Amino acid sequence: MNIQTTNRLTAAETALIEAYNDQMGDLPGDGEVFAVRDRLLDELKTAGLPTRRVEAWHYTDFKNLLRLVPSDIGKGLVEALSATVEGSPVIAVLQGKASDKASVKNLTVARYADSLINGTAAVGLEALGKDDAIGRINASFVRDGYVIDFPDGTELDAPLEVQFIHAGGQIHSRLPVTFGADVKATFIERHQAVEGAAALVSSVSEVKIGKGSEITWIILQEQGSEDTHLGQLRIDLGEDAKLKLFVINAGGKLVRQELYIKVAGEGADLTLRGINLLGGDTHTDVTMVLGHDVPNTGSTEVIRNVVFDRARGVFQGMIRVAPDAQKTDAKMACNTLLMSDDAEFSVKPELEIFADDVQCGHGATVADIDGNHLYYLMARGIPEKKARAMLVNAFVAEIVEELEDEALVEALEGVISAWLEKHA
């Protein structure tokens, strides 16, 4: 570290720099990879973590909110969990380490560590911009993950689940996935803490979806109550491709989930559905940047939030329509139930439209339980606490029911019901 900075480093920033110096001898990578790692860590040291002064982080003062940076890389013994959908294939990254024996029929599966060692990962490690703190942290520390390729015409009979399981410490993983042309598949990206110490987790998934493919991608985040989860999903959607993206946040102390989506192929269509379940004194931020770059594309985004206790939530949604992207149809909505006077949720929808033949719109609502609905249930003998729980569950379950896989719907509704039973 030879770049000098006049910024006053916080304890967490200092701990990150010290952790890199301690770990660099054990991190995988060739000379080119380490040149990128060193540069990105220097940039992070010089600029510091983002504060409210950075527009993209205005509602999440990361510099002051990040308090915990474990010194070790996570050494607890963990095992893969049962599949979210019974009978589905599962491959796991356990304490940040992938298995060299992982395989899925008809797919190409390799360890990400191998691409670090041979240097092919170097280009993909670059940050997305000057404010990409997650990309810089992850690229500096990433050790492993999976590289998965779906050949043209692949059709999966059951969801493929990649599990990221930990029991504390620092865990940094990557997941590049390429779907060829005319692929039909459901993919579950599951982040789960098991019993153990608090963790700092970062994960970057890079997804390319080929012509005519129909993909359902589910992010299921259930980190521990003291964990920091930094997630980033980068998607490139090709010609006539269709993506259904479901994001469920049901854990973590400090969560930032970034979605960077390029609708780059004519005829492509995106469906985004998000559920944020927030309780205690947690802070969860979902930030989306969606670019419609070509004509005749569509997208719909619906985010549902339930906020208890002193929890704070954020949804920032930016839709950019390029000058050539005529006939774009884009709609965005964010709906929130505040279940406590101390709960907060901030919504920042944005549209940047440079084409004139488009249909674009956004909306947001914040409310409590509808009194008439509550009265209706209580008038039929249902206790108030149970009636409230039923109404909250219906508010978010409506999103999950859009999935066409009955077993998957049942599994995700089980996750939601378990969280509500614990927090409501």
Q: pLDDT tens digits for 365-395?
A: 887 777 777 767 788 878 777 777 788 888 8
Q: Is residue 390 part of a domain?
A: yes
Residue after which a domain boundary falls, among 265, 297, 320? 265
Give the amino acid at 187: F
Question: Is pLDDT above 80 for 305?
Answer: yes
Q: What number is the average pLDDT over the span 294-321?
A: 96
pLDDT confidence band for 3 (50 / 70 / 90): very low
101 Cβ neighbours under 8 A, 6+ residues apart: none
Element spanning 133, H or E: helix 133-141
pLDDT confidence band for 7 (50 / 70 / 90): low
Can you give the pLDDT at residue 157? 93
Rounded Cα distance, 266 and 277, in Å: 35
Q: Are 270 and 240 in contact (CB under 8 A)?
A: no
Residue after which a domain boundary falls, among 249, 265, 281? 265
- 258 and 406 belong to one structural domain: no
Of the two residues 367 and 80, the one the predictor is more confident about is: 80
- 259 and 378 belong to one structural domain: no
Q: Is residue 151 part of a domain?
A: yes
Q: Is residue 317 part of a domain?
A: no
Question: Is pLDDT above 90 for 240?
Answer: yes
Characterize the bridge pairing of strands 90-94 and 144-150.
unpaired
Q: Is residue 4 part of a domain?
A: no
Residue after which a domain boundary falls, among 265, 282, 311? 265
Q: Is residue 160 part of a domain?
A: yes
Element spanning 407, H or E: helix 406-423
Number of domains in the chain: 2
- Domain containing 134 equals 11-265
Mean pLDDT of the chain: 92
Q: Could you tell me the end-to-end alpha-carbon distance of the chain, in angstroms, rounded to an integer?
A: 48
Question: Is pLDDT above 60 for 339?
Answer: yes
Across 308-368, where does the E strand assignment appear?
Answer: 312-321, 329-338, 344-353, 359-367
